[in-house]
Structure 1
Amino acid sequence: MSLADDPRFFALLTGSFLRLVGRPLVSALDLGPAWLYESAPFAVLAHDTSADPLFVYANRAAQRAFGYSWDEFVGMPSRLSAEAPEQAGRQRLLDAVARDGFVTGYASIRVAKNGRRFPIAEGIVWQLIDEDGRVRGQAATFPLPA
């Protein structure tokens, strides 16, 4: 089973979001992992805790925004989602998330697979913390650019 439809990973994403941000990531309890992956009208991405974090999850909305398939996204260093000039700001963001648990209102320029640059705004980045308090990575969500 991939993380795309893994109920435990869905619980990690949504549970961490609720505990840290204080509101649900998905609005209805019957919206499960398949809905978040296939149909959510917003992007959700997650990376692991590696020294050079690797993407472990990208829903279809994120795949469309960045132009990568699941197989291309998963395992890719998350730093590659930003161009070199944006990477220092990205690292400051990730450090703030590690320190504070989450950051809201994040805005930046990202780069798609084909080199197209696109803005993200009103992003939320949060720590993925399991029920035992272990940090499992970080995740981000943002509305799709118009």
Structure 2
Amino acid sequence: MEDLHPKSAGLATDLEFFKLLTGSFQRLVGKPLVPSEQGPDWLYRAAPFVVLAHNTDPDPLFVYANIAAQTRFGYTWDEFTKLPSRLSAEAPDRQERQRLLDAVARQGYIADYRGLRVTKSGKHFWVENGIVWQLVDEHGRTSGQAATFSSWTDV
């Protein structure tokens, strides 16, 4: 798969992107991201957990943010998919975030992640028990990284 381009609003419910998200999660983490009877529309619109993904640009941009992510961070799809992913953390927390992403690149995924994030309105929250993984297709090509979490603590 070629590098992902955030201008594609079609990624929200795109079947190939859904297969990349869920397939790489299954291969790396060893469990399903979504129930087997659910598809891309459910993950985008109805999933009770946050899923975000960014591409492999030098300053990665978000290419996917489900409705749960949009609600948690306060950005619309259009705003999210123009946003460098580093801006999900404030400047003092970006080094820690980058260390996490570097570790994910080396190891494939990180589970039980906890990190401080910031919403569009400037409110802070701790991601609790997050999983961050490489978006790697079945041929070993990397297209970015993704994260999921279902619990957080407002600061």
TM-score, normalization: structure 2? 0.91
Q: Which runs of 4+ in 1 moved over 3 A?
A: none
Distance 1:56 1:32 in 2: 18
Counterpart residue number, 2:104: 97
Structure 2 gap ranges (5+)? 1-8
Alpha carbons 2:103, 2:110 under 8 Å: kept? yes
Identical counterparts, % of pairs: 63
Counterpart residue number, 1:12: 20
1:15 deviation in Å?
A: 0.2
Alpha carbons 1:125, 1:138 under 8 Å: kept? yes
Counterpart residue number, 1:59: 66
Quick check: 1:46 aligned with 2:53? yes
1:144 deviation in Å?
A: 3.9
CA distance 1:3–1:34, shift in 2 (3 Å): same
Counterpart residue number, 2:31: 23
Counterpart residue number, 1:79: 86
Count how many residue pairs are aligned between Structure 1 and Structure 2: 145
Once superposed, what is the RMSD of the aligned Cα atoms? 1.0
Quick check: 1:114 aligned with 2:121? yes
Residue deviations 1:33-92, cap 9 Å, x none?
000000000000000000000000000000001000000001210000000111000000
TM-score, normalization: structure 1? 0.96
Distance 1:59 1:89 in 2: 24
Structure 1 gap ranges (5+)? none
Counterpart residue number, 2:6: none
Code of the aligned partner of 1:97:
V
In structure 1, which of residues 21, 35, 39 is the aligned counterpart of residue 42 of structure 2? 35
Distance 1:139 1:88 in 2: 18
Code of the aligned partner of 2:73:
F
Counterpart residue number, 1:129: 136
Give 3-state SS (helix, strand or coil) of 2:152's partner. coil
Code of the aligned partner of 1:93:
L
